Amino acid sequence: MKSKIKVVSLAEVYVNDELLFRSKNKWTRYFMSTMIINIGGIESNPGTHSSRTHIMGNDWDARVGTDTSTPTEPTMSDLVSKVDTPPDSKVRRLIYSSSEGLYITEFVFSWNAGTLPDMTIGEFGVYLYLGDDSWSSPMLNPHTGEGIYDPYGNSSKRLASRIASADGSFDAFEFYGSIDPLTFKWRFQVAIT
């Protein structure tokens, strides 16, 4: 029997606790580059066996935006028309379901009524602690004595994924932030079937 592994990123948006939509999203190049660096286990202090604390979830956030016409490109570093108002609350969860073969990292971002302005929402963005992709290939293992390399030297909070109406992920909607709360759930999910 063959098994398959499927990696997806999913989003759910709720207004007043009512599910508005559920959708997949698009990742940026910074997310993919940092994923490779994390899996590769590159250290800035070779031979110390100290664990790195610079992981993607060290600095995490989300924003909404009003753009409805720009498709997502992997090179995007920010939302097109970002409303730079942070969520009122953020929750991070690790979820494991052995019966379904699911491993999930879930981030929940909530804006209370009155926090966001009335607007048309056309995009959502998740920001994680990501490096850039300025490293050269192949990156040598620092344990070989080739010197010290810190791929996190240029790390900062960067756009990891975007969910956009322009990609057909959801229909842009009129949001009345003066009276409605908004919740945005983002999941990075690995399924083994």
**Spatial distance between the Cα atoms of 121 and 72, rounded to a whole number of angstroms:** 15
Residue 20, both tokens: 């508005």
Name the pTM for this structure. Answer: 0.82
pLDDT tens digits for range 100-140: 888 999 999 999 999 999 999 999 999 988 777 766 666 55
Where would I find the beta strands (DSSP E) of 76-141?
82-83, 89-97, 102-111, 119-121, 123-130
User: In this structure, are residues 81 and 65 in contact, taking their beta carbons and an 8 Å threshold?
Assistant: yes
- Helices assigned H by DSSP within the chain: 29-40
**Spatial distance between the Cα atoms of 167 and 189, rounded to a whole number of angstroms:** 21
More confident residue, 35 or 10: 10
